[in-house]
Each structure stands twice: as C-alpha cells, then as structure tokens.
Chains A and B, each alone.
Chain A
C-alpha cells in the first residue's frame, strides 16, 4: 500500500479520488476480441503492473482508462489519466524542453510559463544541459525521461505507462526502472504500467496482474509487499518472478 503522499508542485488536487475501476469490461476491434470480462480495481496511489504476452489487449486497457475509447460492455471509471505511449511519441521538431512542456501548452499555459515549469524538473530528471536538444540528439533513456516528464506535467492523478522501457537496452532499462521508482517516490501517483517484462513488474509495482493471450483476461494477481528500493537478485523478487512466469505458462 502507498504510504505518505507529500504535496508537490505537479501533484494534482485530490478530491475524492476513485483511482481506476473496471467492471466486466469487453472490448473488440471488429472480429478480434481484445479484452473479455476484465475487472480491475486500482486504489488511488497504488502502482499496478499489467503483464501479459504481446497482443493481450494491455494497450487497449490503457486506452479505455485514458478515455480514448469506450468499452463494448462493462464500465470503466477512472480519475483523469495521462498516457505515456509505447514509443515515446516525442515531437521531433521540438526541443526537449518544449516536448516536456507540451501537456501544459495543450492545457492552455503560455509558452514561457510552460517552459519554466517544465524546466524546474530538468535537473531532477537528469536532463540539465539538454533543454534545447531535439529528440534526435537525445539518448533512448533521456527520451523516455522527457516523455515521462511530459506525462507527469499533465497533472493527472493517474499515469498510464505503456511499455515505457520496451525499446531500451538491458542496462539502460535497469537504470530507468530505478529512476522511475525514485521519481514516483517524489511525485506519488496512481500508476498503471503495461509491460511484458515480469521482473520489471515485480521490481516496480505494488500489485502485478497477469493477463492471458487475446482475448485478454485476468489470469492471476500477485501482491508485492516488499519495501523499496528492490533489488532484482532479492530472494523474494526472484521467487515472485518465477511464480508469475509459471502462472503465464512460461516455465
């Protein structure tokens, strides 16, 4: 369970948050059923990881939570959610600073003010000195950090992260996982993380939800009651990872 939530610059006002609630949700694209009978509760401030094979409807679930589509059956209730798409979706013609400030610009903040607010986070995000660099000149890890900062600055209580580290090399991915845990400790949010990496899920989440291949259904749920930061060679982490892999039918 989430502990204290300190007030911070970008933290959304909390008036009676619902977190995320999905009840018996079905969603199909034409003849292809993406989700079937999915019920999921994410408490405000909780970090839930959704793990499953490719094409199990994980991204569809995030889109529903973000209000980008309506379910065919069942209900989706969620606090305002910000999406971090699978690829970083940074705009190649904008500098890192302008990309980070994009959500603020869309919310109607003037350019100078939006850039100033985004810049306050650049040091903590390890982006100092790269304000004027366009995405093409940033490393993969930095691009993800800019994309995450943009998501954070949307000021929504819920963050939907769609395989944020899927495209990174193994070493960078480890660093980014640690970094994400720290960033969320500073800026607590309700988080839905989609990943196909069981270890990543166990390292980061309060709860790991396993989905079946398409149509996606919830197969199993694991609570990860471990203190943070977690180490990947920790005995409990390894054990949970193996149990989850087993439940997915991988070992």
Chain B
C-alpha cells in the first residue's frame, strides 16, 4: 500500500518535472512516454521478455544446484571448506562485464554462456546462506542426535538440512533479485534476443522511451522472481513463526 503510494508520488513528480521543465525526452522521457513506448512496442518486446525470463530461470536453477552442492560440501568437509572458500568469495570479485565477452567467445552465442554468467552472479548468496544455515542448527538437537548415534547423513537429513531452509531461501531471494543483472551483462556481450539486447538496440536508435520501457520490464521481472521465491518459501518453510500461536 505505502509502496504503491510512494511509486505514484515518484511518478507524479517525474512527470511534472519533465512536462514543466521541458527536459529533452531523449535524455529523460516522461512516465507517460515510457508507458506509450511499452504499449506500442509490445509485439517487439514480448519475445525479448520471454527470452530473458527463460535465461534467468535456467541460470537460477543452475545457481541453486551449484550453490547447494558447494554449501553442503563446505559444511560437511573442513578440507573442502578451506579449499573452496577463497574461490567462492573470489568469484564475486570477477567483473562480469569484463569476462562476459570471453565466455561468449568460448561458448558461443547460445543459451549456455547466459546461464553460466547468471549462475556466476547468483550462486554466491545461495552458497553462503545455505552454509550459514547448516552451521546454525540447534546445538542441543545436534547433541541429542549424536547421543542417539545418528550417522553424519542422518544429522544432515533430520536436523541440519531442514534447519537451513529459512536461511537458504534468503539466499535464493537475494539471488533472484540480482539474476536479472547477470542476464543483461551476458546479453550485452553478445545475443540475438533478450531484454539486455533490446536495451542496447534502443540506446543505439536513441529510442530513450523504449530503453526506459525495457528497464521497467527488467525491474518487474526481478520483483516477480523475488515474489515467486518468497511464495515458495512460505509454502515450504511453514513452521516459523506462523505455528507459534497455533494449536487446537
């Protein structure tokens, strides 16, 4: 509710600024111009939106698989933890716009380099949050399971993995929000379709209103992905804190 009011106020101020001040629409189009561009170019932009959504979903999936494997490996093996941690952290210092062209050069213009680059941006929050969640399991419950002679696998399965779910979902939500950036960088480096590609084309044609319309779509895509993850989280992690007052 307040978010909607804030957006309305910002849009109103923006519109007023452009209309009253006579800002060059090539530099800053008014919100109504952007809406118009979005509507008129809908046939052009819809396939791009679909392409980018598809790339982002595959990239997030790859990041989730890689993040889960890395997080679990770092949790289970101190040796792997020592070996992997610097690489995992260091991977986040790699400037995606710089390596994107190299990846494209090696993997070509297809789907693979996009998925790889999105996964590179997204796997870090998933890995680290999952790892922290696994380590944060209730030590009393852990002692209890050890007193029952639970195997390492049973401790992971009965205690640590479920206990890590809330934290893992936090990582997934962060990943979903930043995945779109990875897709745009990957498409800038070389793509035949997608919103990142549409952004470059619009800029080249000085179609500023369309560029803003594309940005709006990216914005909405990120929000939708985050919302989907939050929804999934609420379905899966149903025990806190909603069950607190419950009971028949």
Chain A contacts to B: CB under 8 angstroms: 63, 66-68, 81-83, 85-87, 89, 91-93, 102-103, 105-107, 129-130, 133-134, 136-139, 154
Contacts and interface: CB of A to CB of B under 8 A. Distances in A.
B93 interface: no
B243 A89 contact: no
Given A83-B143, A92-B240, A102 B246 contact: no
Q: Is the interface of A mostly helix, strand, loop or mixed?
A: loop
B143 A106 contact: no
Q: How big is chain B's contact interface, by range?
A: 20 to 34
B240 A136 contact: yes
Contacts of A154: 148
Shortest beta-carbon contacts, A-B, top 10: A137-B247, A136-B243, A137-B246, A83-B147, A89-B140, A89-B141, A85-B140, A66-B147, A93-B239, A106-B148
B244 A136 contact: yes
Contacts, number: 70
A114 B165 CA distance: 25
B149 A91 contact: no
B158 A105 contact: yes
Contacts of A105: 158
A81 B144 contact: no
B140 A86 contact: yes
A112 to B, nearest CB: 16
B162 A106 contact: no
Given A82-B147, A106-B145, A106-B149, A136 B138 contact: no
Nearest to B151: A106
Contacts of B162: 91, 93
A139 B247 CA distance: 9
Task: Tell which of A87, A92, A129 has the most Cβ of chain B within 10 Å.
Answer: A92
Contacts of A86: 140
A107 B148 contact: yes
Task: Tell which of B141, B147, B159 has the most Cβ of chain A within 10 Å.
Answer: B147
Contacts of B147: 66-68, 81-83
Contacts of A83: 143-144, 147
B154 interface: yes
Nearest to A62: B147
A204 to B, nearest CB: 22
B248 interface: yes
Contacts of A87: 140
B146 interface: yes
B144 A85 contact: yes
Contacts of A92: 239-240, 243
Given A83-B147, A89-B144, A102 B158 contact: yes
Contact of B150 (A63, A67, A106, A136): A106
A239 B145 CA distance: 40
A149 to B, nearest CB: 13
A81 B148 CA distance: 9
Given A92-B243, A93-B162, A133-B246, 14 more contacts: A66-B147, A81-B147, A82-B148, A83-B147, A85-B143, A91-B159, A102-B158, A130-B247, A134-B243, A134-B246, A137-B244, A137-B245, A137-B246, A138-B247
